[in-house]
Amino acid sequence: TQLLEQSPQFLSIQEGENLTVYCNSSSVFSSLQWYRQEPGEGPVLLVTVVTGGEVKKLKRLTFQFGDARKDSSLHITAAQTGDTGLYLCAGHNNFGNEKLTFGTGTRLTIIP
């Protein structure tokens, strides 16, 4: 069974601060995605990373895929209240079982 552990589980910081969320697994994934989910809504895809060591930037968000494709991180610079939400990483593999495996989630609260 592939498991994706996210840390921290909960994070509450002041607006303007920086933060990093981690997603770790003992399994290799062919690609990894990050989603953000707001209350009452389904998760919305933020980014997909495919290559080991890949770094993608989305405005104030920086996503990194580990060299071994087993872990990923999400860094937010100068957090804003609109960043509040549940952040989920999800790994996909094409080694026969093609379903997405979701991480345990990080609930982020940005305090104004």
Partner 1 sequence: KAGVTQTPRYLIKTRGQQVTLSCSPISGHRSVSWYQQTPGQGLQFLFEYFSETQRNKGNFPGRFSGRQFSNSRSEMNVSTLELGDSALYLCASSLVSKLTEAFFGQGTRLTVV
- Return residues touching partner 1 (CB under 8 A): 31, 33, 35, 40-45, 48, 88, 90, 92, 94, 97-105
Q: How buried is residue 13: exposed, middle or buried, by Cβ count under 10 Å (0-12/13-18/19+)?
A: middle
Our CB check for partner 1 shows the closer of 10 and 14 to be 10
Least distance to partner 1, CB of residue 77, Å = 25
Q: Which amino acid is present at 56?
A: K
Residue 56 CB contacts under 8 Å (≥ 6 apart), including other chains: 47, 49, 62, 63, 64
Least distance to partner 1, CB of residue 51, Å = 14
Our CB check for partner 1 shows the closer of 15 and 100 to be 100
Our CB check for partner 1 shows the closer of 40 and 82 to be 40
Our CB check for partner 1 shows the closer of 11 and 100 to be 100
What is the token pair recorded at 89?
């990483």
d(CA 66, CA 98): 20
Least distance to partner 1, CB of residue 87, Å = 12
d(CA 62, CA 50): 15
Least distance to partner 1, CB of residue 83, Å = 19
